Amino acid sequence: MCLHDHTSAPALPANLPRRGILAGAAALAGISMASIAAQIGGAPAAHAADRPSGPNYHGSPLTHPALIIEGGTIVDPKTGEAVEDGVLVLDGGKVAAVGSRDATLKAVAAVAGRAQVLNATGRWVLPGLIDVHVHANALADARAILQGGATSVRSGSSSFYQDVALAALPGWAPGVSPRMTPAGLFISPDLGDSLLADPDLAPLATLAGGVKDPADLAYLTRVNLNRGAQVIKTRANPRAGLPEQDPRELVYNQEQLSAVVKAANGAGVLCHAYSAEGIDGAVRAGVRSIEHGVFVSEGTIAEMARRGTYFTPTMDAITSMAASANPILAARGQEYTPILQAAVRAAHQAGVTIVAGTDSFGTDVTPIGKEVRLLAEAGLSPLEALRSATVHAARLLGLGDDGGRLVRGGFADAIVVDADPLADASALETVSVVVAQGAIVRNEL
């Protein structure tokens, strides 16, 4: 028996503003003044002159002291060049200077007396890494991602717009969350409890067969964009990680996926796809990237190369199934791993851009360095594997030609590793320092 008095509950207004939706998303993501204060610790109350985009707030965002990382070998993933005994100067959330000691002398002098100095002698300094497929639903998830060295991420969807809320944090509280490209809600037939994320989704609850009609798919896509999603996540097939689902069954065909791409209106669409038919339909529908893509065909690879479609193999998500206690998942992992490795090699050889995405969910985070190492084991060179989590990923996220690099005026995101990443891709698994938006979030020097 229900004992609640439903008549006294206030009704949701029909025109609930976006800020109301995002306030709920922030609460679900564990974002509060107390949690943010605990994470940034004793950061000084300095403030930047320029306000980031966001709420029309009267204050200014927090900044961190200038930082000098000196003595390490600085690597440029775009060129493959390395500067030994280099110096990196970060100030005001940007790279103030990078290069040899002589080239950075003036910038070092400009921050003398107010900069923290880290000695990276004997180590390698790189730009912060980029994970193009994560599911971060809380502040704890964001913190775990940062600890692994990923300072920028693309969301693979969240359940209640938590990724949209997390995306607003770096501009105001540097180092609390990675730079987030949010996807909002998953464009999928069954929205489950995500229907409760937004009153504008209430009409979709009446659909007996789920969200399948192209007009309904377009509507859901537009709602996502209105709530702050910058990319759209959809699917062609079910999940491989659920033993009761068949990942080769078709969920959305080319016509349905085309409706999503058209409604996205230029926002990149990432598509979860396993079967040859599903992948091909997604590519021809115009999605920006294929996620997983185990059974991609040779003809579809050629079409991806022609269209410039990116490939996110999510190696760890697939290969780790082989160790599952569930016999169905273990069999899938054992079967899929060599097929996916061959697909990565074939796609790379055909000119398809490979990008690194872990498909991490919640606090169960695969460090992005492991994904880079698995891509190298699949056949990429250490440099190409590094590029998959830096310059290639930056281009996919629209971060510009200087994204995924340490260049003057670029993002103040950096990592320090203990071994040479140009010689061995596994070097990215030994991260000593992580700097995100100018804030030190990990320091083991």
Instruction: Walk along the chain (445 residues) in steps of 10 and give the mean pLDDT of each run.
Output: 29 42 54 49 40 64 90 98 98 96 97 95 98 96 96 96 94 93 97 92 93 98 96 97 95 98 97 98 98 98 98 97 97 98 98 98 95 98 98 96 92 97 97 97 95
**Hey, how many other C-beta atoms are within 10 angstroms of the C-beta on 38?**
10
Contact 169, 52 (CB under 8 A): no
Buried b (16+ CB within 10 A) or exposed e, 138-177: bbbbbbbbbebbbbbbbbbbbbbbbbbbbbbbbbbbbbbb
3-state secondary structure of 22: helix
Tokens read off for 246? 């068949």
Helical axes 298-307 vs 327-350, angle rounded to 10°: 50
Distance between CA atoms of residues 344 and 293, nearest Å: 9
What phi and psi values does residue 87 have, to the nearest 5 degrees? -135, 135
Do 445 and 119 contact (CB within 8 A), yes or no? Answer: yes
**Tokens read off for 142:** 């964001």
Distance CA 176, CA 311 (A): 29
Predicted local confidence at residue 48, as pLDDT: 37
pLDDT at 64: 86
User: For residue 187, which of 282, 102, 306 has the smallest C-alpha distance?
Assistant: 282
* In the block, residue with structure tokens 């203990």: 418
Alpha helices in 199-352 (DSSP H): 214-226, 254-264, 276-285, 298-307, 315-319, 327-350
Q: Which domains does the chain have, with CATH numbers?
A: 129-401 (3.20.20.140)
Q: State residue 40's pLDDT score.
A: 47
User: What is the pLDDT, as a whole number, of residue 325?
Assistant: 97
Phi, psi of 23 (to 5 degrees): -65, -40
How far apart are alpha carbons 271 and 91 in whole angstroms? 38
DSSP 8-state code for residue 47: B
Q: Which long-range contacts (CB under 8 A, 24 or more apart) does 97-103 make?
A: 97/408, 98/74, 98/406, 98/407, 98/408, 99/74, 101/70
Q: Can you tell me whether residue 181 is helix, strand or coil? A: strand
Provide the 3-class DSSP secondary structure of residue 311.
Answer: strand
Widest distance between CA atoms in the chain: 77
How many CA atoms lie less than 13 Å away from 40 in the CB half-sphere? 27
Number of other residues whose CB lies within 10 A of the CB of residue 24: 17
Closest CA to 246 of 271, 272, 274, 270: 274
- CA 411 to CA 350: how far, in whole Å? 31
The predicted pLDDT at position 25 comes to 56
Q: How far apart are CA 169 and CA 391, in angstroms?
A: 23
pLDDT at res. 5: 29
Beta strands 94-99 and 87-91, pairing class: antiparallel
Give the three-class secondary structure for 64.
coil
Q: Per the structure block, which two tokens stand in for 78?
A: 């775009």
212 CB neighbour count, 10 Å cutoff: 14
Compute how many other C-beta atoms are within 10 angstroms of the C-beta atom of residue 291.
28
Report whether 61 contacts 52 (CB < 8 A): yes
